[in-house]
Amino acid sequence: MNDNVHLRDSNIALLIDGDNASPDHFDEVLLVLGEFGTINVRRVYGNWQKPSLKGWANLSGQQSIVPIQQFDVSKGKSATDMRMIIDAMDLLYRGSIDGFGIMSSDSDFLPLAQRIREDGIPVYGFGTTKTPLPFQQACTRFFDIAALERSGQDNGGATEPPRELENDLLQVLGAAYKASKRDDEGYASLGELGQRATAVSSFSARNYGHAKLSDLIRSLPNFEVKTAADGRQLVKRLR
């Protein structure tokens, strides 16, 4: 069972902070975000006079991304971020967007993610491991773009190892397991565990090099996964 909910008919808006996101990872972002719906809105924001945005300029025509020009009004102030936030709120109030993707490692988008989620709309963040934790946690799911690239590589070849499993991962999964309904043998539904984990964290199995939650948990010696007679996947904490 994939830890992502498939909503193929959902209308998704992808907003890209061109100054703080690399076009090199765009394919991986499309692959993941496409699992949540159809990405009908694709916009990349920046001052297109900057040579550093050449990669996004070249990609915009290939991937049907609308480039949004925003001149730098004053040094040290990000008018680009403000324009992106304003457009996001416009889209939110139209009521036609079912989910937002924000491709940026900038903590300035923390209030935006919080506000969108107040309306019950999911926010999917895409950034680097250096992205401030508060913004990561504000997202419904936050994806480490480097981990996405690793998980998409051919398993038959030499690959870079996934991000080291951290103590907080075991804490999140352990807390979700404790809160889940368990049978007499101590097994809980993998689906319920995944729902509870994402309810309190921007946790995603993809950040640890696995496309599915079941694969991630199978890689941990702390848990056991088995398939029930009815086809459901069950998980039990061993230690």
Global confidence as pTM: 0.67
Q: Is there a single domain that holds both residue 117 and residue 147?
A: yes
Q: Is there a single domain that holds both residue 63 and residue 173?
A: no
Is 50 exceeded by the pLDDT of residue 2?
Answer: no
Q: Is there a single domain that holds both residue 113 and residue 59?
A: yes
**Residues whose CB falls within 8 Å of the CB of residue 25, separated by 6 or more in sequence, listed in order:** 126, 145, 146, 148, 149
Q: Is there a single domain that holds both residue 145 and residue 171?
A: no
Q: Is residue 68 part of a domain?
A: yes
Q: Is there a single domain that holds both residue 177 and residue 64?
A: no
Assign 5 a pLDDT band (cuts: 50, 70, 90). very low
Q: Is residue 192 part of a domain?
A: yes
Q: What is the pLDDT of residues 39-55, one digit of tens each?
A: 999 999 988 878 878 88
Q: Is there a single domain that holds both residue 30 and residue 122?
A: yes
Is 80 exceeded by the pLDDT of residue 24?
Answer: yes
73-90: burial string, b at 16+ Cβ within 10 Å, e else: eeeeebebbebbbebbee
Q: Is there a single domain that holds both residue 171 and residue 147?
A: no
User: For the residues 172-200, what does the mean pLDDT come to?
Assistant: 85
Q: Is there a single domain that holds both residue 116 and residue 200?
A: no
Q: What is the pLDDT of residues 98-152, one digit of tens each?
A: 999 999 998 899 999 999 999 999 999 999 888 999 999 999 989 988 887 765 5
The residue assigned the tokens 């999964």 is 173
- Looking at 151, 178, 200, which one is the last position of a domain? 151
Measured between alpha carbons, how far is 177 from 223 in angstroms, rounded to an integer? 10
Containing structural domain, residue 196: 167-237
**Residue 59: CATH number of its domain:** 3.40.50.1010
**CA 226 to mean position of chain CA atoms:** 27
Q: What is the pLDDT of residues 52-80, one digit of tens each?
A: 788 898 888 888 899 988 776 655 457 78
Q: What is residue 214's predicted lDDT score, i.e. its pLDDT?
A: 86
Q: Is residue 122 part of a domain?
A: yes
Q: Is there a single domain that holds both residue 129 and residue 204?
A: no
Q: Is residue 1 part of a domain?
A: no
**Residues whose CB falls within 8 Å of the CB of residue 82, separated by 6 or more in sequence, listed in order:** none
Measured between alpha carbons, how far is 121 from 138 in angstroms, rounded to an integer? 12
Q: Is there a single domain that holds both residue 89 and residue 193?
A: no
Q: Is there a single domain that holds both residue 84 and residue 117?
A: yes
- The torsion of the CA quartet 160, 149, 153, 53, rounded to 10 degrees, works out to -110
Q: Is residue 86 part of a domain?
A: yes
Q: Is there a single domain that holds both residue 128 and residue 188?
A: no
Nearest to 126 by CA among 209, 228, 206, 236: 206
Nearest to 174 by CA among 137, 139, 141, 203: 203
Q: What is residue 191's predicted lDDT score, i.e. its pLDDT?
A: 87
- Looking at 151, 179, 208, which one is the last position of a domain? 151
**Residue 214: CATH number of its domain:** 3.30.420.610
Mean pLDDT of the chain: 82
Q: Is residue 162 part of a domain?
A: no
Q: Is residue 66 part of a domain?
A: yes
Domain count for the chain: 2
